[in-house]
A = this chain, B = another copy of it.
């Protein structure tokens, strides 16, 4: 999961209430980072070593879908945490791919949670212009020097920048301003099927419960430098719908010659007929009987979207995506409202019978649709799966298997939480005018933090910029050609500043 499709989109801040809070925070700002210059010097000194460390991490791809390097990836993640100063570091058996749990006790009054992923998306080297595991530094016209590699921006680049911040604070002999509790998983890209077994293990849950919230490092900047602070994410379900002659009790139990179609039923046609019932004729609206309803956008959310829509270039977005028209020829504003507010059911992949070059005259015994469904509040993963199964059964397709491989509920965090307000304070101090966005259309397992029993704020944070997540030529900017976009060292400093802001004494010390 982990990408949002469109780069940061947003709305300025939320009216007078946020403005008032910002003023309060801004007053105490200068004291936030004790010897910022010393830390910055350390960041510069470490630059080459950090870039090399990121390349080495990229060279070890952990891919849960392929059961590739998961144990090694967890061990590497643990090593990186130990080197960055975490005193307790532990690999956690989740029943799936291992997780990592680590704590850094700075003796500080404030504790902050961290959510990392050490896994990356699958890749096909043939589609890349430079080797996906090399982390080669490439000149990207108009962008600067970027590192190209699988995981460069999703999520190793930002995570390495964060770890570099810890090194730099220590090397500059500054006191760590907050205690840290890190959970890192190796199954983010398959829908975090075991995230609860990591985060909610009683001792880990107890450690996280002491935190003011949890964040994940991420380069939040657009190409023009705009920074977007997101207040939540859609939920997601990944599943396969499988029509199979064996389960159906009709059609063949193995692939047979296609001429037999005249006397033998076809599981592939059955899959097509079942899929057809799931969406409207244009393929755009979920048509599952009794499907949970989405909450309408609030006035605040609509306002955020309106401001972001005005600030962003529709033609550029369409060009980047290769999309000439939004659904129903909606306006830019309407399309963005739909993006934030509507659940989706998407065909990720179709696989059945002969899939090679040309044709092969078989009647397949099995056909599969790979599906992802995005959820908005108050929908839940379990509610959506139950509705899908009930729908198929009611329409006479009860034999079609619904194999859920991962997924989770949507997640939301209050803009007034200290986790978010500290982000806004740091960004404004750095000269940014951050935008707020109600909910990214992509997904991440923030629900495990924001829902009971933890009920914590959860968000992403970081300056810097990347692109191509889940796609070929994924990159993260190392040296930026744009004055407002931060390179790797600037990203590191954003984490330094955020940690000191979070650790700053405040009248709302336990406030969320």
Contacts and interface: CB of A to CB of B under 8 A. Distances in A.
A276 B265 contact: no
Given A3-B257, A276-B276, A443-B259, A264 B321 contact: yes
Given A359-B370, A361-B372, 18 more contacts: A3-B257, A5-B256, A6-B260, A64-B358, A238-B358, A252-B321, A256-B321, A257-B469, A258-B344, A258-B346, A258-B374, A262-B343, A263-B330, A272-B275, A348-B359, A350-B352, A350-B355, A362-B470
A325 interface: yes
A284 interface: yes
Instruction: List 4 tightest A-B contacts by C-beta distance, closest first.
Output: A269-B283, A253-B322, A65-B358, A259-B441
A354 B346 contact: no
A234 interface: yes
A442 interface: yes
A342 interface: yes
A110 to B, nearest CB: 33
A250 B353 CA distance: 28
Given A264-B327, A265-B284, A349 B354 contact: yes
Number of copies: 2
A482 interface: no
A363 interface: yes
Interface in A279-328: 279, 281-284, 321-327
Given A359-B405, A374-B259, A323 B269 contact: no
B348 A370 contact: no
Given A358-B65, A359-B405, A257 B5 contact: yes
Given A252-B321, A364-B348, A354 B339 contact: no
A194 to B, nearest CB: 15
A360 interface: yes
A211 B265 CA distance: 42
Contacts of A249: 324-325
Nearest to A249: B324
A76 interface: no
A432 interface: no
Residue in A282, A350, A355, A356 whose Cβ sees the most chain B Cβ within 10 Å: A350
Nearest to A343: B262
Given A351-B350, A353-B348, A283 B270 contact: yes
12 contacts: A65-B357, A252-B323, A256-B322, A262-B342, A263-B336, A265-B282, A265-B325, A266-B283, A271-B350, A349-B354, A349-B355, A362-B470
Contacts of A258: 344, 346, 348, 372, 374
A37 interface: no
A428 interface: no
A252 B405 CA distance: 26
A191 interface: yes
A135 interface: no
A173 interface: no
A164 B367 CA distance: 43
Interface in A222-247: 234, 236, 238-240, 245
Residue in A5, A253, A263 whose Cβ sees the most chain B Cβ within 10 Å: A263
A122 B283 contact: no
Residue in A64, A239, A262, A264 whose Cβ sees the most chain B Cβ within 10 Å: A262
A254 interface: yes
A440 interface: yes
Residue in A191, A239, A256, A365 whose Cβ sees the most chain B Cβ within 10 Å: A256
Contacts of A362: 348-349, 470
A335 B283 contact: no
Contacts of A240: 359
Given A4-B259, A269-B279, A336-B263, A245 B353 contact: no
A31 interface: no
Given A272-B283, A365-B322, A359 B65 contact: yes
Nearest to A256: B321
A463 to B, nearest CB: 22
Given A358-B405, A367-B350, A276 B279 contact: no
Nearest to A238: B359
A374 B361 CA distance: 11
A175 interface: no
B262 A122 contact: no
Contacts of A275: 272
A364 B336 contact: no
A365 to B, nearest CB: 7
Nearest to A124: B356
Nearest to A1: B361
